[in-house]
Chains A and B, each alone.
Chain A
Amino acid sequence: QVTLKESGPGILQPSQTLSLTCTFSGFSLSTYGMGVGWIRQPSGKGLEWLANIWWDDDKYYNPSLKNRLTISKDTSNNQAFLKITNVDTADTATYYCARIAAEQLGDYWGQGVMVTVSS
């Protein structure tokens, strides 16, 4: 059974760095072809794919946010991480992590974690 769960700070101030953790079970990020992606959704709005990390530690970023994003993983503890630097109110959103397996970009998703950027 594949599960993912996101965790984060809840609220942070403009210019700070947002650190998110995705803790998963039911698959391994050391398995060939597996990956984890991060996606966000401002309240009542659409979805934006942020970053992907693969079993071989390949990393890919949304071109419009690339300079602010860092994705990483801890394979032994079944976790993936995303950092976003220099946040502002536009980064307020629900952040999701999702499994990537073969041709299925997001076949399982976490429940999401709400992040608010406010002074």
Chain B
Amino acid sequence: DIQMTQSPSFLSASVGERVTLSCKASQNINKYLDWYQQKLGEAPKLLIYNTNNLHTGIPSRFSGSGSGTDYTLTISSLQPEDVATYFCLQRNSWPTFGSGTKLEIK
């Protein structure tokens, strides 16, 4: 199993602030890394696939980067509707999720 470690587990930031979430794999995942957003009581929603490809309809303030074992999700200007838990998912082998970063507004 490839283990995915997300940090921080909790983040509080101000509206308009630039926010960076991290995801580290236990081995090289060859950029097969996706990011999901899950709002309270809802299903996860795909934001980014293959490290840096924005899914249809996702605002351009979301972006992804990384390679090897280290990946990041960046929100360029945090909006109130971005309050959610964010999960990374590797699919280089059997898909495994990180434990999530809960993002709140300060």
Instruction: List residues of A whose CB falls within 8 A of some B CB.
Output: 37, 46-49, 60, 62-64, 96, 103-107, 109-112
Contacts and interface: CB of A to CB of B under 8 A. Distances in A.
A106 B36 contact: yes
A60 B50 CA distance: 20
Contact of B46 (A60, A106, A111): A106
Interface in B20-51: 34, 36, 42-46, 49-50
Contacts of B34: 104-106
A96 B43 contact: yes
A49 B94 contact: yes
Contacts of A49: 89, 94-97
8 contacts: A46-B97, A46-B98, A47-B97, A49-B96, A63-B1, A63-B94, A110-B43, A111-B42
Contacts of A103: 49-50, 53
Interface bin, chain B:
20 to 34
Nearest to A61: B94
B93 to A, nearest CB: 9
A89 to B, nearest CB: 21
A108 B56 CA distance: 11
A109 B94 CA distance: 19
A62 B97 CA distance: 13
